[in-house]
Every structure is written in structure tokens, then in C-alpha cells.
Structure 1
Amino acid sequence: MTIERLHPSLAHHIVNTLGWPELRPLQAAAVTPVLNGSDALLLAPTASGKTEAAVFPILSAMASGQWSGVSVLYVCPLKALLNNLLPRLELYATWTGRRAALWHGDVSTARRQSILRDPPDILLTTPESIESMLVSTKVDHRHLFAGLRAAVVDEVHAFAGDDRGWHLLAVLERLTHLIGRPIQRIGLSATIGNPAELLSWLQGSSKGTCSAVVVAPDSQPPTPSRVENASVLSAPAEPDVQLDYVGSMANAARVIASLHTGEKRLVFADSKRLVEELGAALRARGVTTFLSHASLSADERRRSELAFAEARDCVIVATSTLELGIDVGDLDHVIQINAPSSVASFLQRLGRTGRRPGSTRNCLFLTLDQGSLLAAAGLLLLWRRGFVEPVHPPPDPRHIIAQQMLALCLQEHRVGSHLWPEWWNGLFGDAAKPIVDYLVAEGFLEQDGGMLFIGALAEKRFGRRNFMDLTVVFTASPEFTVLSGREEIGRTDPGLLTEKIDGPRLILLGGRTWRVTWIDWKRRRCFVDPFDGSGGKARWFTPGMGGTSFELARGMRDVLLGADPPVRLTQRAIATLATTRVDSRDNVHPGGTVIIHDGSDLRWWTWAGYRTNATLKATLGRLADEAQRVDDLNIRLRTDLTPAAFAAALQELDGRLCLPSVDDRAVAGLKFSTALPLHLAERTLAARLVDLSGAADVLGEPYGFVQL
């Protein structure tokens, strides 16, 4: 038995304390590679035992190798997930006489000082907190991390998809250089389309060394052509997925209130505004409802999640904050408002259900409009075809290089002007030198006697609060803290506090309506009282360069051309899909793309997604309407454009493609862009917006002009 390879005390408790006669298949398959010190990627849906699959062999290696001090970092993207995991890891650690502890932004100073005096064996933390430990003058990082052996990265796909992933890799490379030996890297992830590529990325400077991808038996296999060197242990059970059209939030609340009474329902909505509106509508119908999203206070979210975990007949409405592995108890049903942004996200949410013996994974889609119904149908069609999106780290992280160089100088105080590349072990390649040269030339860094150190401009731009802003690589939208008396409710968009209104200013937060009584503009605080009634508004500004992917846009096109997702469709969904197909019949054609001339409007219906259309719009130049914002599904062309002129222009392009243009607001939204030359900041953003392969595919397809 594989369990016999684990430390005897650990194996005893697994059998007798947890009551497991044997390990789950994923956990059993992970024992050998993790015990052998291999880098590994463990793939499984939420709550499938990934944590144990990593931690059990790590604890066994810790015991047999007599590791000491902080020997394992357990890294998560969310503080709430770390809080949730701590009791389990504390328990498992005690079974081998070891300790686990928590370090993130909400942990008290006293608790941190205790950790520094007597370090635990496993430290649960975030990349930002690791960075703060490295740059803090109050932490002896060389002593604290001297015994580091392994890093477990939970929800690694969530890191890899944005700049926090590059930040994490850079910090791990600095730790590797600091301690003078490789760090074993173990990633935990939901199902993705390119696991081997993701593991190679996670390995960083250890790329090419011994590694393993292990896929859980209850994880849907990605499309075979997208997976290399991954062994799937068995096929998943058939889930129950239903697609419905309800037409409004009020109708969604009515359906949810009437279905599954007496059971626990987790409802996902992909905006904080929708979460608030649905929460208020459900409470108005007498449904016991809890809310969770990032702009609620930590205490408010924690109370909601705990109350939901302990209740039975209730609903919790959440954004993607509960898509990750936070434990909210045993769920009966998952409901999705509109559609998530990806198949991978849907699989995470679907995996929240079906954990009890005899129960089935399930998800009910409630769509509010025709566009959302089409998007949900397209996504479910992709899912049934076995497609799962690959995770690609954002290219050209030049602003992260700038941040890392400044952070390294804070960490070491002085760094050799020719030795600094060694700290990242080749992670950034040749891209780093011109950025470092710019930092020196502009005064972000000073140079003296062959050494680099923090300059006056870096002090001015990033020195507030002891350079704490330098430890965080994402930009948060400005929000006002909302307080009822001394209790923090959460945060709201300042636009709600400045817009012109008649009568009392009412905001919606935590699923309740509040009356604004006073605004402290200087400290960015808003004081409220409970309001007995409805009418509160919820709004948050959400920056980003997202949009529909090429694959999802094409899935939606296939639905319009007659493909039904092989899931249960309600009569309302069937009827509305039929209407949508009729309404869009001129915009799609099975033989290629369509250009529609309708009065004063000329549109090319590419069905190619946001990034592809941004690339095509830039490539077409003056042929496209310069005033049009990039759309997911079509490109508006110049109205005087004739078919002959369009054909001649495409022939003149001869396959050449252009990077999308980037405006000043986008550059300003790129964290640390002030530490880059403007042209490099623009190139970084353009590289993240471009889709050359999608644009080439569209340009290679037949097209037709239609005059309406």
C-alpha cells in the first residue's frame, strides 16, 4: 500500500483519526514523486484532497530528512483560503511533531514577532507577504528561510494567469539564491488545458529537472491534444447541468427561492453588483441569504461563510472568491447567474457539489438576457467537447522586473551592479538589463562603487508606508470604506458618493440598503445607518483587458448555427435560443465570416473574441472605425468601404499583423509603469492584448458582404 511509504505516525492518524482505510487515488499517485523531491503539479477539482496529496508526503520527507525551521511555504492567492486551511495543516503537522502558522496582512504584529522568535515548520502565506518579509528591516530573512526546502502553491492557475504569478516566481528565485539550493515546487490546480506547460513555468530555474503531473480521477480530462505527459486515472461521473433563461434578476430570485428549499445552495455571479442585487432580492423573499465578495470586510465575509457552513436551508451568493478552495461545508446545489468567463472556472464551480456518497455534481445556469444565454450555451458546448482553456502567464512582465529590482535593493540594501542577474537565476533573460539601466538613469536607483541602491525617485514614488506599495503587484481600484458606527461593512465605489441624486443617498452593501450620513473625503470613509426599505445602489469599477476568448466566441457562433449544448435545456431556454438564432441569422454563416452593411452601419462579424478583434482593428488601421471600442464579436468598419476596397486592402496586408494600440489610461493602470520607459510600458500592454493566431485565422477565412 502507498500509505505505508508515509511516516508511520502520519499513516496511523490517516487511518485512525481521519478514518481513511486508504489514500484517495490522487493522493496515492502523488506520494512517490513528492517524496522523491520532484517538482509536481497535482490536478483535481476543489475539495478533492489536493492539499493532503501535497502535505502528507511533504511531512513525511520533513520527518525522514530532519528538516528544521521554516522548511515549507504554503502559498495561496487569497488570505481567506489561508485562514480556512490553517486548522487542517496545524492538525496534520502535529501528527509528526511539527507546527504550522499563518503570516499575511491581517495577522497581528504580536503574532508575527512570535513566529520570528520561534519559527514554525510550515508557513502559510502569500507572495506579497513573502516579499514584505524579504524587504523588512524587522525580519532576518536569511535566518528565517535558511531551512527552506519546498513550496506548495495552491490554486497555481490563479497565480499563473496574471502578474502575481511572475511575482511569485521571482520571489522563489530570490529565495533559491538566498539559501543556495533549489526549492521543491508543488503546484495544486483545477483542471486546465496545458498542465505540462504550467508545471514547466512553475519550475522556473529548475525547468527540465525531474517533474510529474498527476490528474485526479474525478477531474474532467482536458482535450487530449492539449495535454502532454499527464496520466488520467479514470473517467468522471456524469454531472447534472441545466440551462435556463429567466430574463431578469427578480425572476432569478424567484426561481432560486422556489427551488431546493431545505437545502444549501451556492450561487455564483461574476460581478459584485449582481451579488448585491441578488442577495437583496432573495432576502426580500424571506430566503436566508449570505454574501461573499472582495469588497465586503473580512469580518463580514467570515461571518457569512461560517454561518452558511453551519446552516442548512440557505443560500450564499458569491463572486469567484468562493470558486477557490474555501470550505463552506457540504453543498447540495450550485447555481450560476449568466456564464462564467471560462470552462475552467465552470469546472471549479461544478466541483463544489457531488461530494457526499450517492450525490451528483450539478449546476443550474440562470441567464438574465439573450447575450448571456448565448454565452452560457457556447461555454457548455465547449465543455461537452472536452475543451479546457490553457493557462498562459501574461507575456513580457517588464514592470515586474522593475519592481523586483527595486525590491532586491531594499532587501540587500546594496547589490553589485554586475551581480544582480544571479538573484533570478535567468528567469527574466535579457529583458532585465535595459530596465535596470533605465532605473539608474532616471534616479530610481543610485550607483556608487560598483553597487546599486535605492534612489531618491524610488523613495518619492514608492517609499510611503515603508515601501509597502512595492510589495503588491496588482492595482486596486480606489474605494471608500463603509462604516456603520465602528463596524466596517465593506467598501464602495466613490462614484456612488458623488453622483447627483434626489432624496437620501442609499447604497447597497452586504445585501442590505444603507443611508449615507456623512462622508470623510480626506480619509476615504463613508458612514451609514441601516435603511428600512429598498432602493440602494451597488457599483464598482472593474479595470481589465479581459473579454470573450476566441474559443468561446466561436462556440457561441456554433450555437447560432444550430449546435445545442448537450445539457438539459428548459423550455424557456429553448424558446429564447430559437429567437436569438432568428435575430442573428444574418450575422453568421457556416462558410466563413460576414460583413453586414445596414444603413449607416458596416460591421464585420468575426466571432473571434476581444483580443483577436483588438488585433484585427489595429491591423486594419483606417479601414476600421477609429471611434469604436473593441467588441468581442464584431468590428465596425468605415461606412464608405466597398467590397473591392476591402479585398484590395486585405491583399495588400499580405498576412502582416499589428499590435493593438494602448491608451494613456491603460498605461497608468499598469502597476509600476512609472518605473519603465513609456515605449516599454506600451509594448508590455500591447503584447498582452494581441492575439496573432486568432487574427491570422480570421484573415484566412472566406468572408461575404451582405447588404440589408
Structure 2
Amino acid sequence: MIELLSEPIRRYIRDKRWEELRAIQKHAIKHIMESEKNVILSSRTASGKTEAAFLPMLSKIDFNKPGVKILYISPLIALINDQFNRVEELCEYLDLPVTKWHGEAKKSAKENLLKNPDGVVLITPESIEAMLVNKEQNAIKLFSSLQFVVIDEIHSFIGTDRGMQLASLLSRLSSFHTSKFRVIGLSATIGAIAETKKLTGDAEGTTLLRDKAPKEMEVSFRYFKMEGAELPIELMKDLYLEVKDNKVLIFPNSRGRAEEVSVKLKKISDRLKGHSYYFSHHSSIDRELREYIEQFAKNNKRYPFSISCTSTLELGIDIGSVEKVVQIDAAHSISSLIQRVGRSGRREGEKSSLIFYATDQWNLLQSLACLLLFRDEFIEPVLASEKPYDILLHQMLSIIKQTNGRTPQQLKKHIKENYAFEHIQEAEMDDVIQTLVEKEQLELIGGELIVGVEGEWTVNNKDFYSVFRSDPSFKIIHHDKTIGELPLMSAFQIDENILLAARIWKILEIDYKAKKIFVIPAKDGKKPMFFGTGGEVHPKIREKMLDVLSCQQEYQELNEEAAEALRLLRLDFKCYPITEIATQRPLVAKHAETIFYSFQGTKINKSIDFLLRLQGITADYNDHESSFNFKANPAEVKAMLKKLKASTEHIDSALISMLESNPAVMEFSKWGTLLPLQYQLIILKLKIYDFTHTEIFLSTCEFVEAQDGSKD
């Protein structure tokens, strides 16, 4: 396939002394060079996807055309900064400039690009939005002759508000484009092929190239029961022995837990006179410190290190060779697990190494279920909304600001031509426009829509360009240096200790007006506060958990304590013979209580909980265990649950009442609160609940009670 490439690119390959191209690179070269289709490249982490895209793109671009040739879109500024040198080195062989365009990029580089539009631009969706809204002429000058658009980590956009925004932005860019640009998507995990293809704007004209070559992986499970709020010291000691001589990424499930791990590992290391390279890495840590950690990990060849992180290091930022990945308690999705596992064993011939630590039986069970589904090549399917009214509303405001006003018909024409909103009807557009006018976000003057009084505040806010909600946060400051930021918490108090940047800090002063917290290193041993949130679990994971519970298969990856924890959990369900995993569910009688284990996904569980409350039925809902605890006997519980199906007929009016009485319910959607009430209802039912599958589940569910007559 090398012969298809241009001479400068062949010279790059020779200079790199590559013995041969990787599989995904060979296929990508053939399809990009010999067709005009969009291409999605899916292969494991560190398989050379970036080169697979750029080698043929750079060989095929027409240098006679003016303007930027390739637009690289990334979900993260950090990923742009990381990829910049890699892309720049390749483009030097063609004397092609590479420019970073985001809020933290150099102004001089942007000005040079505007004077001489050319080469490759690396950008985020939010920066595209800002350019279109504020300086449409710049977007036209730079991007009207684009030949390729690369979407890195494309899976992170699918099924999200940000993905719908990106689809709309691509459609808007194409509207002033002199010729059709091709889209190249890159990902290590794609579970929604159809939705991924739709993002390109031409699903039929998009080819998926997937390299399914298996990667050898060593997996082990450890179990340390957690009694309080903090991780067991035995777990930390075991973890220290596992990481002290290696380069390791540790993934807890929250920023607070990541801080706890890094602080405690460093304390153990200090006590045993080990190395000091224990870091935490997440969105609350100051950017400069995060970048220092990334560069240390990437360039350090000599010392072992451990980085306790969240999803900030789940995506493709290059931090060099990592020998082990540790997952503390269950990942919320198989997609995340695949990304995390792929961070280790990146060198050719190396195995990936994954260690699970579980702190309770249910986390152990969920971790095991995720691993088994991962081996079965299951990735959560994602269904994007066909009617993203909240993103429609945002894009309407954006278009009006971009164009300095449009008639309602002109605005609707814009929307109809935008493939992101192809399923939205004109009457629905009218409803949204009317509500925007009523709420003074838009104003209708002389038959033309312009930005309204309230809209001026909205569209001129720097937060307007994003469609995801950012929690209010406080800057954490020590000696005039910003350490990072923490989400606004009413529990912040002077003299409290907090964890941040792998250290414990004591709060000296809180400036609520300036949103600043002044701290000093804590030395009093007082327990610090924790922060972080959970995630949504897919029904297939919970179903697999039930499958594992119901069988007697042994798993060699479990150590003795983990195997015993699983055995004991299986004993609790032994007298509940489950033979049909899809429909049968245990109903456990305990004294005056009955526990219903739904083994369903988070959305269905939330739907059941809502329906129960709607009927005035009290049940303690625990999504972690996928259970509902009733103060009733099994017969009464069965009657209650069967009765729920009928209540779904009145669900819309109940949800409308909830939205009217408590508008804060919609705060999960940044722009949803501005929508007409009936459209808020649709978004709420799609993103938070799943009453359709809940009704099916309740209709088919068979309750299984203890068969031997005993009660737990």
C-alpha cells in the first residue's frame, strides 16, 4: 500500500524506519486513496490510527486549492496539544503548517493562519461554534475549501448533546463550502456503528474499517471489603506492592477517590522510603499541573510512577508506555473499560495488564460481568435522539447571532438543511421559536428575529459555546498559585480538609464572591472531604451479573478472597433457581421485608422508582445493587409491581406536573430549561428514564421466590 502514497510521505515512512505498516494503516490507505467515501477507523489504542488517517490524507490533498486542507476535531484541548507535535512532524515533509485553535492556543499563531489560510487546524467543537457565532468571515476564509475533517475519539461524541452539536456544526460548515469534504473518524471503541456513520452526514457514503486483532491481556481480581467511607488500608498496602516498581494508571470512579488513592500511596511510599512519583489527574486539577504530569509520564524512561486518574486519561493522550492499569471498583461501561485497558501494553508484543480491586460483593460482580462482556466483544449500543430539541434551541440562538438576524422562514430553512435536525418538523421549530420569543431570548422586529434582551446575556456569555453543563466551581489557591478547582459544595467550611493534586489541604478562607478557596498543606490528620459522582449502567451488564450469580462457573482471574466473596454472594441467591436470565428475577423475603432484584439498567430502575412513588408506594431503591426494598410480603410486592404497568398510561401528566413544580429537574440539560414544557418532557423521558422498556420488563417479568421453603 505504500506505493499509493506520495513521495514525501513515503520518505517520512523510510525515515521512521518502519519495517511494515500496521493492518489498520494498510486498509485506511487503500480506502482513503482509492475512494471518495467517508471512513471510520476503529482499532485498539496505540495501533497507529492517527497515521492511518494522515498518511493517505496528506498524500491525496490538492495543494492548488486555497485555505485549510484538514480540520482535526478533538473532544479535548489536552488531546490537541498532545497530537500537535505528532501531526506537525508528519506535515513538515510537505511544508504544511499545523495550527492549534482553541482558547489556550497562541493568538499570534491564529493571526498568522488568518493571513495565510493553509495546512492543518486542530480544534474543539466549542471553538468552531465560537468562530461561527462571533466571526463567521473567519470560518468562511479558513474552511470553505476543506478537503478532510478528522474526528478523533469519535465514540465520545455518539449519543451525546455534544455529538448533536458537532453534527450541526459540520452541517453549518458545509453550507458555505465550495465542495464536499470527507470525514475520517478515529476510535478504539465503537458500539453504535449506525449512529457513528450518521455523524458524518452521509451514512450511506461512509465505510467502517475495524481491526479486531485481539490483544493479549493478563487480568486479576482482588477483594478487600470496605467498611467505612475510605478504602481499606489492606487494599492500599496491596496496591502499593503492585505499583511501586511499575508505571501504572489507576482508575477509581471519582475525583475524590482518585485523590484518596494518590495521597495514601505517597504516604506509604514515604514511610517505606520509596519513590515520590504518585500523582492525581482529573478535570479539577490546574491545567499546567496536568500537563506537567502528562509530560513526566511520557518522557520519563527511568522511574516508576503511578497516576490516579478519571476519564481525563481514558482517551488517547500519549503518556508513553504504561505497564499496568488498575480499576478500583466497577467501571460504569464496557466502552470505558476498553479505553482504560488499552492504555497498557502499547508496545508491539506487550500484553495489556489489568488489575481489578473490588470493595464490596456487588462491585466485584459488576466488574466481572464487564470483563466477560468485554471478552464477548459487547459494547453498549448508543441511540442518539432523533429530536434533540435542546440542541436545536441552542443552534437557533447561535445561527441568529451568527447572521445578525433572520426571518422565521429563513431560520427554519437553515434548520431544514441541517442534517442534525432532519427529523424535526416545521411545527416543532415554530414552537421552539415562539418560546424563545416569549422568554425574550429572541425578539421579532419587523418580521425579523434578532437576539432578545435576555438572549444578549445568553449568547455573549463565554459559556454559550458549549452544550454540556459545567458545575459552578471554586479555585483552590495556595500562596497565590492555583492548584485546581473543585465543584461548588455547600459543605465547604473553614478548617475543613480537602484532597487535591495528590495532597491534603486545609481551608483557611472562602471567598464566595470571587469563588476562591485559600488553603495551606494540612498536617492535623483530620479526614478530608470527598467529591465525585456515579454513572449510568446498561441493562446488559446487570443481566450478565445475574447470569454469573446463577451459574457455578469458576473464574481463574479471581484471587482467593475474591472467589470467596463471589461464592458467598451466590449462596444468598442459591435457593432462587433462575433459568431464564432475560425474564426471571429474584424476590427475596427477609423477615418483614421483601427485596426485589431487578437486575436492570439505571434508566429502567429509575423508571420503576418513579412509578412506585407515583403510586404512593414506599421502597428503598439501590441502583448499586439494582434492588428495591419493600416493607411488605412477597405476595403484596408482586401485586404492586404488576400494577405498575397500568400506571405508565398516566406517566406524561405526572412528569409534566413534576416539571412544573420543580423546574430544577431539567438541569441535566443545559438548554432544555428554555424549551416548551412538552419538549422538556420528551428529553426527560429519553435521557433520564426508559418507560418503554420498563413496561416491557414489568409485563414479562417472572418473580422467583425461594424454592426450598426457607427465608433468608
| TM-score normalised by L of structure 1 | 0.89
Of 456, 462, 465, the residue aligned with 1:471 is 465
- Equivalent residue for 1:540? 531
Shift of 1:101: 0.9
The CA distance in 2 between the partners of 1:41 and 1:551, in whole Å, is: 26
Q: What is the number of equivalent residue pairs in this alignment?
A: 677
Give SS of 1:447's match: strand
Shift of 1:334: 1.1
Instruction: Report matched runs for 1:32-111 at 5 Å.
Output: 32-35=30-33, 36-62=35-61, 64=62, 66-111=64-109
The CA distance in 2 between the partners of 1:339 and 1:71, in whole Å, is: 43
Shift of 1:667: 0.9
- Equivalent residue for 2:632? 639
Give SS of 1:513's match: strand
- Equivalent residue for 2:604? 612
Shift of 1:555: 1.3
Shift of 1:199: 3.1
- Equivalent residue for 2:29? 31
Farther off after superposition, 343-352 or 132-141: 132-141
The CA distance in 1 between the partners of 2:282 and 2:225, in whole Å, is: 24
Farther off after superposition, 144-153 or 642-651: 642-651
User: Does structure 1 residue 683 correspond to structure 2 residue 667?
Assistant: no
- CA deviations on 1:542-582 (whole Å, 9 max, x unpaired) are 4x8x4322111111111221354755111111111112222
Report the AA paired with residue 209 of structure 2: V
Shift of 1:405: 0.3
Of 296, 304, 308, the residue aligned with 1:313 is 304
- CA deviations on 1:307-359 (whole Å, 9 max, x unpaired) are 22233311111111111000111111111111211122111111122232442
User: Does structure 1 residue 191 correspond to structure 2 residue 185?
Assistant: no
User: Does structure 1 residue 276 correspond to structure 2 residue 265?
Assistant: no
Q: Structure 1 residues 446, 496: closer, same or farther in 2, change over 3 A? A: closer
- Equivalent residue for 2:151? 153
Report the AA paired with residue 512 of structure 2: W
Shift of 1:383: 2.1
Give SS of 2:197's match: helix
- Equivalent residue for 1:14? 13
Q: Structure 1 residues 470, 565: closer, same or farther in 2, change over 3 A? A: farther
Report the AA paired with residue 608 of structure 2: L
Report the AA paired with residue 206 of structure 2: S
The CA distance in 2 between the partners of 1:59 and 1:624, in whole Å, is: 64
Q: Structure 1 residues 441, 505: closer, same or farther in 2, change over 3 A? A: closer
Shift of 1:443: 2.6
User: Does structure 1 residue 480 correspond to structure 2 residue 474?
Assistant: yes
Report the AA paired with residue 628 of structure 2: I
Of 432, 455, 459, the residue aligned with 2:456 is 459
Q: Structure 1 residues 252, 99: closer, same or farther in 2, change over 3 A? A: farther
Give SS of 1:140's match: helix
The CA distance in 1 between the partners of 2:523 and 2:611, in whole Å, is: 55
The CA distance in 1 between the partners of 2:609 and 2:589, in whole Å, is: 18
Shift of 1:217: 4.1
Task: Tell whether the 8 Å contact from 1:477 to 1:541 is kept in structure 2 after alignment.
Answer: no
Task: Tell whether the 8 Å contact from 2:391 to 2:467 is kept in structure 1 after alignment.
Answer: yes
Farther off after superposition, 468-477 or 175-184: 175-184
Report the AA paired with residue 202 of structure 1: L
- Equivalent residue for 1:226? none
The alignment yields a C-alpha RMSD, in angstroms, of 2.8
Q: Structure 1 residues 679, 651: closer, same or farther in 2, change over 3 A? A: closer
The CA distance in 2 between the partners of 1:615 and 1:588, in whole Å, is: 26
Of 380, 386, 400, the residue aligned with 1:409 is 400
Task: Tell whether the 8 Å contact from 2:144 to 2:178 is kept in structure 1 after alignment.
Answer: no
The CA distance in 2 between the partners of 1:238 and 1:91, in whole Å, is: 31
Of 109, 117, 125, the residue aligned with 2:115 is 117
Q: Structure 1 residues 677, 356: closer, same or farther in 2, change over 3 A? A: same
Instruction: Report matched runs for 1:253-272 at 5 Å.
Output: 253-259=236-242, 261-272=244-255
The CA distance in 1 between the partners of 2:463 and 2:348, in whole Å, is: 47
- Equivalent residue for 1:495? 489
Give SS of 1:241's match: strand
Give SS of 2:176's match: helix
Shift of 1:60: 1.4
Instruction: Report matched runs for 1:521-532 at 5 Å.
Output: 521-532=512-523
User: Does structure 1 residue 215 correspond to structure 2 residue 210?
Assistant: yes
- Equivalent residue for 1:239? 217
- CA deviations on 1:114-152 (whole Å, 9 max, x unpaired) are 332333421111100100111114963222222222211
The CA distance in 2 between the partners of 1:590 and 1:51, in whole Å, is: 47
Task: Tell whether the 8 Å contact from 1:608 to 1:694 is kept in structure 2 after alignment.
Answer: no
- CA deviations on 1:469-498 (whole Å, 9 max, x unpaired) are 221111111211011122210112333763
Task: Tell whether the 8 Å contact from 2:592 to 2:631 is kept in structure 1 after alignment.
Answer: no
The CA distance in 2 between the partners of 1:318 and 1:644, in whole Å, is: 42
- CA deviations on 1:139-196 (whole Å, 9 max, x unpaired) are 632222222222111111111132110111111111111225433111111223332x
Q: Structure 1 residues 627, 454: closer, same or farther in 2, change over 3 A? A: farther
Q: Which runs of 5+ in 2 are unaligned?
A: 270-274
Shift of 1:395: 5.5
The CA distance in 1 between the partners of 2:200 and 2:570, in whole Å, is: 47
- Equivalent residue for 1:224? none
- CA deviations on 1:593-647 (whole Å, 9 max, x unpaired) are 1333434434322111211223334456755735755735123457388459718
User: Does structure 1 residue 670 correspond to structure 2 residue 653?
Assistant: no
Report the AA paired with residue 451 of structure 1: E
Task: Tell whether the 8 Å contact from 2:255 to 2:532 is kept in structure 1 after alignment.
Answer: no
Task: Tell whether the 8 Å contact from 1:74 to 1:151 is kept in structure 2 after alignment.
Answer: yes
Give SS of 1:376's match: helix
Give SS of 2:623's match: coil
The CA distance in 1 between the partners of 2:60 and 2:127, in whole Å, is: 26
Q: Structure 1 residues 89, 419: closer, same or farther in 2, change over 3 A? A: same
Q: Which runs of 5+ in 1 are unaligned?
A: 219-235
Q: Equivalent pairs: percent with the same residue?
A: 28
User: Does structure 1 residue 202 correspond to structure 2 residue 202?
Assistant: no
Report the AA paired with residue 492 of structure 1: L
Task: Tell whether the 8 Å contact from 2:334 to 2:373 is kept in structure 1 after alignment.
Answer: yes
Give SS of 1:207's match: coil
- Equivalent residue for 1:517? 508
Give SS of 2:292's match: helix
The CA distance in 2 between the partners of 1:186 and 1:306, in whole Å, is: 28
Farther off after superposition, 77-86 or 299-308: 299-308
| TM-score normalised by L of structure 2 | 0.88
The CA distance in 2 between the partners of 1:140 and 1:648, in whole Å, is: 59
The CA distance in 2 between the partners of 1:584 and 1:183, in whole Å, is: 57
Q: Structure 1 residues 385, 565: closer, same or farther in 2, change over 3 A? A: farther
Give SS of 1:427's match: helix
- Equivalent residue for 1:603? 595
Task: Tell whether the 8 Å contact from 1:493 to 1:541 is kept in structure 2 after alignment.
Answer: no
Give SS of 2:606's match: helix
Q: Structure 1 residues 237, 687: closer, same or farther in 2, change over 3 A? A: closer
Give SS of 1:558's match: helix
- Equivalent residue for 2:550? 561
Report the AA paired with residue 136 of structure 1: N
Report the AA paired with residue 265 of structure 2: L
Q: Structure 1 residues 323, 357: closer, same or farther in 2, change over 3 A? A: same
